[in-house]
């Protein structure tokens, strides 16, 4: 760079400034997502929405009916004023209420025995979440005997880890209030294939 004259550098600087300016413009648009394929249309009257988490968990891309946030983790897609759910969030709701709610309470609200996962999912990453459900967890520092069982061998849980994670994220951000989902996107071919391989293998 030393040998370059100031005049040669100036267009480069201008280009960089321009790039930052347009990146800012894209971010500003994020508040009301431009891409209709992944934008959420939440229930405007839903209580307890966490604007920061809703932004963090907003889908930025979709692949065969599965949505991903900017960290590359599976996330939810909710439309029709909060009434229509992507397949994975819907499936996660059902799996949660089959396998987890006895301890963690309906709608991930928590119980005297186990923590409210709607709060846990405000901080747990995808990897941490999957690690806990596979390996279990016990708070050895407390005198209590409350144990999170390891589900690593349970296909009814592990084959649906993404579904559970997606549903619980929607609960954590408040994008999904305490509702029983009825309307949903069609089950993607990729989900049918992955389920067959996971359950059968
Ligand atoms: C037998 C009761 C029981 C069942 C069933 C159960 N859990 Fe847990 N889970 C617990 C307890 C108790 C803890 C708290 C453990 C600790 O921190 O010591 C826990 C903790 C967790 C945590 C960590 C929470 C945090 O804040 O760090 C996650 C995530 C979790 N469970 C997910 C699930 C999922 C998903 C299911 C269903 C597939 C499930 N659990 C089913 C009892 C249960």
Tens-digit pLDDT profile for residues 141-165: 766 678 999 999 999 999 999 999 9
Q: Report d(CA 184, CA 201) in Å as an integer.
A: 28
Candidates 100, 121, 148: which one to mutate for ligand 1, based on the most atoms within 8 Å of Cβ? 148
Give the DSSP H/E element, type plus range, for residue 86: none
pLDDT at 11 > cutoff 90: no
Mean pLDDT of 135-146: 80
Task: Say if CB 77 and CB 69 are below 8 A apart.
Answer: no
Nearest CA, atom 19, ligand 1: 148
What pairs with residue 85 in β-bridges? 78, 184
**Ligand 1 centroid distance, CA of 33 (Å):** 34
Nearest CA, atom 22, ligand 1: 132
pLDDT at 24 > cutoff 90: no
Q: Report d(CA 104, CA 93) in Å as an integer.
A: 13
Domain covering 39-200 assigned CATH 1.10.490.10 in the classification: no
Length of the chain: 201
Which pair of structure tokens corresponds to residue 64?
A: 């065969």
Mean pLDDT of 50-65: 96
pLDDT at res. 31: 54
Identify which of 43, 41, 45, 46 has the alpha carbon closest to the alpha carbon of residue 59: 41
Nearest CA, atom 36, ligand 1: 100
Q: What is the mean pLDDT of the chain?
A: 87
**Ligand 1 centroid distance, CA of 161 (Å):** 13
End-to-end CA distance of the chain: 57
Ligand 1 environment, Cβ below 6 A: 99-100, 102-104, 113-115, 117, 120, 124, 129, 132-133, 137-139, 146-149, 151, 157, 164
Q: Where are the domains of the chain?
A: 1-30, 39-200
- Could you tell me what percent of the chain has a pLDDT over 90? 74
Nearest CA, atom 26, ligand 1: 120
Mean pLDDT of 185-190: 97
- Nearest-atom index, ligand 1, CA of 129: 29
Q: Is 148 helix (H, G, I), strand (E, B) or coil?
A: strand
pLDDT at 131 > cutoff 50: yes
pLDDT at 21 > cutoff 50: no
């Amino acid at each position: 760079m030393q040998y370059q004259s100031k005049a040669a550098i100036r267009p480069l600087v201008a280009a960089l400034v321009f790039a930052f300016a347009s990146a800012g413009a894209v971010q500003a648009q994020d508040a009301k997502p431009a891409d209709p394929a992944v934008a959420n249309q939440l229930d405007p009257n839903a209580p307890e929405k966490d604007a920061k988490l809703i932004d963090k968990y907003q889908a930025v891309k979709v692949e065969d009916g599965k949505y991903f946030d900017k960290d590359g983790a599976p996330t939810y897609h909710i439309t029709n004023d909060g009434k229509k759910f992507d397949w994975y969030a819907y499936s996660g709701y059902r799996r949660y209420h089959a396998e987890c709610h006895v301890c963690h309470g309906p709608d991930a609200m928590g119980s005297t025995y186990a923590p409210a996962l709607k709060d846990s999912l405000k901080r747990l990453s995808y990897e941490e979440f999957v690690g806990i459900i596979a390996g279990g967890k016990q708070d050895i520092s407390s005198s209590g005997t409350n144990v999170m069982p390891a589900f690593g061998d349970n296909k009814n849980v592990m084959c649906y880890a993404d579904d559970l994670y997606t549903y619980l994220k929607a609960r954590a951000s408040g994008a999904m209030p305490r509702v029983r989902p009825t309307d949903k996107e069609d089950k993607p071919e990729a989900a049918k294939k992955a389920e067959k391989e996971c359950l059968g293998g």
